[in-house]
Amino acid sequence: MPSPFGPADHLAEGKLLYKRADFQNALDAFNSALQFAPHDLVLLDCRAATREKLGNLDEALRDAKSMIRISRADGRGYLRAGKLLSIMAKTDAALSIYDYGLRQVPDTDPTHEALRRMKNKTANATKGRDPLEVLPVELAENIMRCLPFRDVVRCLRVSKGWHRFIASRSCLWESLDLSQARKNVHTAFLMSCFANSKGRLIDASIQQLSQPALVYLVKYCPRSHLTYLRITSQMSEVYVVKTVCQAPNLKDLFVAGQVEFLFSDLVSILSACPNLAKLTAGS
Protein backbone atom coordinates (compact mmCIF):
# COMPACT_ATOMS: atom_id res chain seq x y z
CA MET A 1 0.00 0.00 0.00
CA PRO A 2 1.56 3.35 -0.97
CA SER A 3 2.48 5.74 1.82
CA PRO A 4 -0.20 8.36 2.57
CA PHE A 5 2.56 10.91 3.17
CA GLY A 6 4.02 13.04 0.39
CA PRO A 7 7.38 14.87 0.29
CA ALA A 8 5.93 17.94 2.00
CA ASP A 9 4.69 15.80 4.91
CA HIS A 10 8.09 14.10 5.31
CA LEU A 11 9.82 17.47 5.10
CA ALA A 12 7.62 18.95 7.83
CA GLU A 13 8.17 15.87 10.00
CA GLY A 14 11.93 16.01 9.45
CA LYS A 15 12.12 19.69 10.39
CA LEU A 16 10.15 19.06 13.58
CA LEU A 17 12.40 16.15 14.55
CA TYR A 18 15.48 18.24 13.75
CA LYS A 19 14.30 21.01 16.09
CA ARG A 20 13.88 18.37 18.80
CA ALA A 21 17.48 17.24 18.15
CA ASP A 22 16.22 13.81 17.10
CA PHE A 23 18.63 13.79 14.20
CA GLN A 24 18.53 10.11 13.28
CA ASN A 25 14.76 10.07 12.83
CA ALA A 26 14.95 13.45 11.09
CA LEU A 27 17.40 11.90 8.62
CA ASP A 28 14.98 9.04 7.98
CA ALA A 29 12.21 11.55 7.25
CA PHE A 30 14.34 13.54 4.80
CA ASN A 31 15.44 10.30 3.10
CA SER A 32 11.78 9.39 2.62
CA ALA A 33 11.02 12.82 1.17
CA LEU A 34 13.94 12.59 -1.24
CA GLN A 35 12.56 9.36 -2.66
CA PHE A 36 9.77 11.50 -4.10
CA ALA A 37 11.91 14.50 -5.08
CA PRO A 38 15.62 13.56 -5.38
CA HIS A 39 16.56 16.91 -6.92
CA ASP A 40 14.83 19.15 -4.38
CA LEU A 41 17.43 21.61 -3.04
CA VAL A 42 15.55 22.27 0.22
CA LEU A 43 15.42 18.56 1.00
CA LEU A 44 19.08 18.04 0.11
CA ASP A 45 20.11 20.99 2.25
CA CYS A 46 18.08 19.71 5.20
CA ARG A 47 19.60 16.25 4.88
CA ALA A 48 23.10 17.72 4.64
CA ALA A 49 22.50 19.74 7.81
CA THR A 50 21.21 16.64 9.60
CA ARG A 51 24.15 14.52 8.47
CA GLU A 52 26.44 17.27 9.74
CA LYS A 53 24.81 17.04 13.17
CA LEU A 54 25.30 13.27 13.13
CA GLY A 55 28.97 13.71 12.27
CA ASN A 56 28.64 12.22 8.80
CA LEU A 57 30.55 15.04 7.13
CA ASP A 58 31.55 13.21 3.97
CA GLU A 59 27.93 12.25 3.25
CA ALA A 60 26.79 15.78 4.03
CA LEU A 61 29.38 17.15 1.61
CA ARG A 62 28.09 14.81 -1.10
CA ASP A 63 24.62 16.31 -0.63
CA ALA A 64 26.07 19.83 -0.88
CA LYS A 65 27.88 18.94 -4.10
CA SER A 66 24.68 17.43 -5.49
CA MET A 67 22.97 20.75 -4.82
CA ILE A 68 25.66 22.56 -6.80
CA ARG A 69 25.38 20.14 -9.72
CA ILE A 70 21.59 20.50 -9.81
CA SER A 71 21.66 24.30 -9.77
CA ARG A 72 24.98 26.10 -10.18
CA ALA A 73 23.27 29.48 -9.92
CA ASP A 74 21.84 28.72 -6.47
CA GLY A 75 24.09 29.78 -3.60
CA ARG A 76 22.79 27.34 -1.00
CA GLY A 77 24.93 24.44 -2.18
CA TYR A 78 28.11 26.52 -2.07
CA LEU A 79 27.29 27.84 1.40
CA ARG A 80 26.67 24.34 2.73
CA ALA A 81 29.79 22.90 1.09
CA GLY A 82 31.98 25.76 2.32
CA LYS A 83 30.77 25.34 5.88
CA LEU A 84 31.41 21.60 5.83
CA LEU A 85 34.89 21.99 4.34
CA SER A 86 35.74 24.51 7.08
CA ILE A 87 34.59 22.07 9.74
CA MET A 88 36.78 19.43 8.11
CA ALA A 89 39.75 21.85 8.39
CA LYS A 90 39.98 22.09 4.59
CA THR A 91 40.16 25.88 4.59
CA ASP A 92 41.70 26.27 1.14
CA ALA A 93 38.98 24.09 -0.39
CA ALA A 94 36.31 26.09 1.43
CA LEU A 95 37.70 29.37 0.07
CA SER A 96 37.81 27.87 -3.43
CA ILE A 97 34.17 26.77 -3.26
CA TYR A 98 33.11 30.23 -2.07
CA ASP A 99 35.05 31.83 -4.94
CA TYR A 100 33.45 29.48 -7.45
CA GLY A 101 30.03 30.22 -6.03
CA LEU A 102 30.58 33.97 -6.27
CA ARG A 103 31.32 33.55 -9.98
CA GLN A 104 28.23 31.39 -10.60
CA VAL A 105 25.57 33.02 -8.42
CA PRO A 106 24.07 36.29 -9.75
CA ASP A 107 24.82 39.47 -7.80
CA THR A 108 21.10 39.99 -7.33
CA ASP A 109 20.67 36.68 -5.49
CA PRO A 110 20.54 37.13 -1.67
CA THR A 111 22.96 34.21 -1.24
CA HIS A 112 25.63 36.05 -3.23
CA GLU A 113 26.25 38.47 -0.37
CA ALA A 114 26.15 35.56 2.10
CA LEU A 115 28.86 33.82 0.09
CA ARG A 116 31.00 36.96 0.18
CA ARG A 117 30.59 37.27 3.96
CA MET A 118 31.50 33.62 4.54
CA LYS A 119 34.53 33.88 2.27
CA ASN A 120 35.83 36.92 4.19
CA LYS A 121 35.10 35.30 7.54
CA THR A 122 36.95 32.13 6.55
CA ALA A 123 39.90 34.07 5.14
CA ASN A 124 40.19 36.21 8.29
CA ALA A 125 40.00 33.12 10.51
CA THR A 126 42.86 31.60 8.53
CA LYS A 127 45.04 34.66 9.14
CA GLY A 128 44.57 34.34 12.87
CA ARG A 129 45.09 30.61 13.16
CA ASP A 130 47.71 29.14 15.46
CA PRO A 131 50.74 28.27 13.28
CA LEU A 132 51.17 24.99 15.17
CA GLU A 133 47.71 23.98 13.94
CA VAL A 134 48.58 24.80 10.33
CA LEU A 135 52.22 23.80 9.87
CA PRO A 136 53.36 20.20 9.46
CA VAL A 137 54.92 18.87 12.67
CA GLU A 138 58.35 18.47 11.06
CA LEU A 139 58.38 22.06 9.77
CA ALA A 140 57.24 23.50 13.12
CA GLU A 141 59.94 21.48 14.86
CA ASN A 142 62.64 22.71 12.47
CA ILE A 143 61.60 26.33 13.02
CA MET A 144 61.75 25.86 16.79
CA ARG A 145 65.23 24.34 16.50
CA CYS A 146 66.45 27.55 14.88
CA LEU A 147 65.43 29.62 17.91
CA PRO A 148 67.79 30.36 20.80
CA PHE A 149 67.04 28.15 23.79
CA ARG A 150 65.87 31.16 25.77
CA ASP A 151 63.18 31.87 23.16
CA VAL A 152 62.10 28.21 23.11
CA VAL A 153 61.50 28.46 26.86
CA ARG A 154 59.52 31.66 26.35
CA CYS A 155 57.35 29.93 23.74
CA LEU A 156 56.21 27.48 26.42
CA ARG A 157 54.09 30.30 27.84
CA VAL A 158 52.22 31.07 24.60
CA SER A 159 49.45 28.54 25.22
CA LYS A 160 48.79 25.05 26.58
CA GLY A 161 49.03 23.68 23.04
CA TRP A 162 52.44 25.25 22.49
CA HIS A 163 53.62 23.97 25.88
CA ARG A 164 52.54 20.41 25.03
CA PHE A 165 54.19 20.53 21.61
CA ILE A 166 57.50 22.03 22.73
CA ALA A 167 57.82 19.87 25.85
CA SER A 168 57.18 16.73 23.79
CA ARG A 169 59.92 17.39 21.22
CA SER A 170 63.06 15.98 22.86
CA CYS A 171 65.30 17.40 20.10
CA LEU A 172 64.54 20.91 21.37
CA TRP A 173 66.03 20.03 24.75
CA GLU A 174 69.25 18.31 23.67
CA SER A 175 71.13 21.64 23.98
CA LEU A 176 70.52 23.36 27.28
CA ASP A 177 71.74 26.96 27.01
CA LEU A 178 71.16 28.86 30.23
CA SER A 179 74.24 31.06 29.81
CA GLN A 180 72.08 34.21 29.82
CA ALA A 181 70.22 33.39 33.02
CA ARG A 182 69.84 36.46 35.22
CA LYS A 183 68.69 34.61 38.29
CA ASN A 184 69.69 31.34 39.89
CA VAL A 185 68.66 28.29 37.89
CA HIS A 186 66.69 26.13 40.30
CA THR A 187 66.28 22.39 40.56
CA ALA A 188 62.64 22.29 39.41
CA PHE A 189 63.48 23.90 36.09
CA LEU A 190 66.44 21.59 35.52
CA MET A 191 64.24 18.59 36.27
CA SER A 192 61.70 19.64 33.64
CA CYS A 193 64.44 20.29 31.08
CA PHE A 194 66.05 16.89 31.54
CA ALA A 195 62.66 15.17 31.50
CA ASN A 196 61.84 16.88 28.19
CA SER A 197 65.18 15.79 26.72
CA LYS A 198 64.30 12.15 27.49
CA GLY A 199 67.88 11.52 28.57
CA ARG A 200 69.33 12.84 25.31
CA LEU A 201 71.08 15.97 26.63
CA ILE A 202 74.15 16.61 24.46
CA ASP A 203 75.45 19.98 25.59
CA ALA A 204 74.72 22.34 28.45
CA SER A 205 75.74 25.92 29.22
CA ILE A 206 74.64 26.82 32.71
CA GLN A 207 75.03 30.10 34.55
CA GLN A 208 73.74 31.25 37.94
CA LEU A 209 73.44 27.65 39.10
CA SER A 210 72.08 27.33 42.63
CA GLN A 211 73.83 24.80 44.87
CA PRO A 212 70.75 22.51 45.14
CA ALA A 213 70.52 22.55 41.34
CA LEU A 214 74.16 21.56 41.03
CA VAL A 215 73.64 18.74 43.52
CA TYR A 216 70.68 17.55 41.42
CA LEU A 217 72.85 17.75 38.32
CA VAL A 218 75.40 15.50 40.03
CA LYS A 219 73.04 12.91 41.44
CA TYR A 220 70.05 12.53 39.15
CA CYS A 221 70.46 13.99 35.69
CA PRO A 222 71.01 11.63 32.73
CA ARG A 223 74.36 12.61 31.26
CA SER A 224 75.39 9.58 29.23
CA HIS A 225 75.16 11.67 26.00
CA LEU A 226 76.55 14.93 27.39
CA THR A 227 79.62 15.98 25.37
CA TYR A 228 79.83 19.72 26.05
CA LEU A 229 79.40 21.42 29.41
CA ARG A 230 79.84 25.07 30.31
CA ILE A 231 79.32 26.06 33.92
CA THR A 232 79.41 29.62 35.23
CA SER A 233 79.01 29.28 38.96
CA GLN A 234 80.24 30.47 42.31
CA MET A 235 79.92 26.96 43.73
CA SER A 236 82.90 25.26 45.28
CA GLU A 237 85.34 23.27 43.19
CA VAL A 238 84.22 20.10 44.99
CA TYR A 239 80.71 20.32 43.54
CA VAL A 240 82.04 21.27 40.11
CA VAL A 241 84.33 18.24 40.02
CA LYS A 242 81.50 15.95 41.16
CA THR A 243 79.33 17.29 38.37
CA VAL A 244 81.95 16.83 35.67
CA CYS A 245 82.86 13.32 36.78
CA GLN A 246 79.28 12.22 36.15
CA ALA A 247 79.66 12.94 32.41
CA PRO A 248 81.99 10.22 31.05
CA ASN A 249 81.46 11.21 27.37
CA LEU A 250 82.41 14.83 27.94
CA LYS A 251 84.69 16.24 25.20
CA ASP A 252 84.65 19.94 25.95
CA LEU A 253 84.48 21.54 29.41
CA PHE A 254 84.42 25.23 30.25
CA VAL A 255 84.22 26.33 33.88
CA ALA A 256 83.92 30.10 34.36
CA GLY A 257 84.01 31.98 37.61
CA GLN A 258 86.32 31.98 40.60
CA VAL A 259 87.61 28.42 40.44
CA GLU A 260 90.99 27.04 41.47
CA PHE A 261 91.42 23.38 40.56
CA LEU A 262 93.95 21.32 42.43
CA PHE A 263 96.11 18.87 40.49
CA SER A 264 94.10 16.04 42.09
CA ASP A 265 90.90 17.65 40.76
CA LEU A 266 92.25 17.58 37.23
CA VAL A 267 93.33 13.95 37.62
CA SER A 268 89.83 13.03 38.80
CA ILE A 269 88.23 14.80 35.85
CA LEU A 270 90.53 13.25 33.27
CA SER A 271 90.07 9.80 34.77
CA ALA A 272 86.28 10.10 34.73
CA CYS A 273 86.17 11.69 31.26
CA PRO A 274 88.62 9.82 28.99
CA ASN A 275 87.25 11.58 25.87
CA LEU A 276 87.86 15.08 27.22
CA ALA A 277 89.78 17.04 24.58
CA LYS A 278 89.43 20.59 25.87
CA LEU A 279 89.26 22.03 29.38
CA THR A 280 89.03 25.75 30.04
CA ALA A 281 88.82 27.22 33.53
CA GLY A 282 88.63 30.78 34.79
CA SER A 283 86.75 33.97 33.94
198 Ramachandran zone, left/alpha/beta (phi>0; psi -120 to 50): left
Which pLDDT value is given to residue 189? 82
pLDDT tens per residue, range 41-89: 999 999 999 999 999 999 999 999 999 999 999 999 999 999 999 999 8
Distance (Å, rounded) from C-alpha 72 to C-alpha 100?
10
Q: How many CA atoms lie within 13 A of 185 on its CB side?
A: 28
Which pLDDT value is given to residue 4? 62
Name the residue with higher pLDDT: 24 or 187: 24
Q: How big, in percent rounded to 5, are the helix, strand and coil portions of the chain? A: 60, 10, 30
Looking at the predicted structure, is the pLDDT value of residue 174 above 60? yes
Amino acid of residue 237: E
* Mean of all residue pLDDT scores within the chain: 85
Name the residue with higher pLDDT: 100 or 126: 100
Name the residue with higher pLDDT: 6 or 35: 35
- Residue pair 218/246 in contact by the 8 Å Cβ criterion: yes
Which pLDDT value is given to residue 281? 76
Q: What is residue 202's three-state secondary structure?
A: coil
For the range 217-221, what are the long-range contacts, defined as Cβ-Cβ under 8 Å and sequence gap of 24 or more? 217/190, 217/243, 217/246, 218/242, 218/243, 218/246, 220/191, 220/194, 221/190, 221/194, 221/246
Looking at the predicted structure, is the pLDDT value of residue 158 above 70? yes
- Residue pair 231/206 in contact by the 8 Å Cβ criterion: yes
Q: For residue 168, with 0-12 CB atoms within 10 Å meaning exposed, 13-18 middle and 19 or more buried, which class applies? A: exposed
Which pLDDT value is given to residue 1? 39
Looking at the predicted structure, is the pLDDT value of residue 231 above 90? no
Distance (Å, rounded) from C-alpha 37 to C-alpha 17?
20
Give the mean pLDDT of 2-28: 89
pLDDT tens per residue, range 187-207: 888 788 888 888 777 777 777
Which pLDDT value is given to residue 2? 47
Distance (Å, rounded) from C-alpha 83 to C-alpha 118?
8
Nearest to 252 by CA among 272, 234, 270, 277: 277
Task: Calculate ∠ Cα 8-56-65, nearest 5°.
Answer: 65
The pLDDT-based confidence of 283 (bands split at 50, 70, 90) is low
